[in-house]
Structure 1
Amino acid sequence: MDTFDAIYGRRSIKHYHDDHEMTEEEITKLMEAALQSPTSFNIQHWRFVVVRDKEVRQQLKAAAYNQAQVADASLLIVLTADMHAFKKEPERYWKNAPPEIGQRLVSMLVGLYDNQPELQRDEAMRSMGIAAQTIMLAAKSMGYDTGALVGYDPGKVAEVINLPDDHVLGMMIVVGKAKQGAWGKPGQLMLEDVIVNDKFPAKS
């Protein structure tokens, strides 16, 4: 599927065929595409919890205020990020770069994020957002529908998936075959409503 077709055709789907299963090859292809998402300093700190177990899916459905798609979709992905990935063997992120470049970037990375919890969280959220869009567009190009969810109890979700203390939750993404299509787009803004040319107007 053409990239622009995937962008314009992707919709947030709520209702899925609960008897459809994705193959392991399809899941691998989708998640390998997610790995192509960019991250600052190439940290790659997203951690994708790919949930297949039906009992776990039911527990997460309950934590998501019983939204049916959490259990019914073919696949559930809980996006999380390791906020301390910057100091966990950071040499891995530039293992194929010239040694002097890799060493310099490791030093910069640790110096930038160490003792900066707000920046660590901001960076994690940015990275998960980019990865989420990659997953949804890749899934659409594979013939699948998706939906992103942030309506859940974070404490309960963290408990169900055993979220490590140094990780943060992002969104859930469901992937599958739509049982019911989405409504027409309810109110898309025009370009002139969202584009700021060069800079915002001066404050009065």
Structure 2
Amino acid sequence: MKKDFHIHIVDDDASVRESLKALIGGEGYGVSCYASGQNFLDHSNGVSGCVIIDLKLIDMNGLALQRALITQQAEVDVIVVSAYGDIEHAVESMRLGAVDFLEKPFDPEQLLNRLDHLAHAADAAGRLQRDARQRAALIDTLTPREKQVLSGIVEGQANKEVAADLGISARTVETHRVHIMQKLQANSLAHLVRIWLEASARKEPIAEAS
């Protein structure tokens, strides 16, 4: 199981990368290390397993790397680690689909236990859970108004009906709909609805526009 579940470490501190590689590799996992977020993105096509991301990278925020992986629909679980952990970053990383947020220095056994759990969950059910997290994270990239339009769409309303409910023009609704399709990477109305349904198990009701 472990040999089939690859771990990717993204940290700009060489000593941290090497210590994590020794720790995780010693448990039988395959491990790859990357010194920057862009370095990982350059090699992220087709990757799987789990990526451990440091929040403060030399070239980008770890949350920005999470968002890039969501856009790529990368088939990886994400663990974010930080020496400057706070509630705001922890919550945001989890909203973006991270399975855990660990504050440095963290208990090595805690990390290994989490990886062991993920490795054993890397089956069909585990993939469905990861896909749901990614779908939910994509929906969080929508503006409040786009979420209102999406709500009308998934309820089966036509553009004119959504427009009447929101007090905007049908043309504006269509513009929002195009943006929603682009952000959620949906190629059809049916695909758009399926994305929402896949995310709904993790999401609370779509937020109202302020």
- TM-score normalised per structure 2: 0.27
Q: Which one scores higher on RCO, CA 8 angstroms, separation ≥ 6?
A: 1
- Relative to its length, the structure with more helix (as a share) is 2
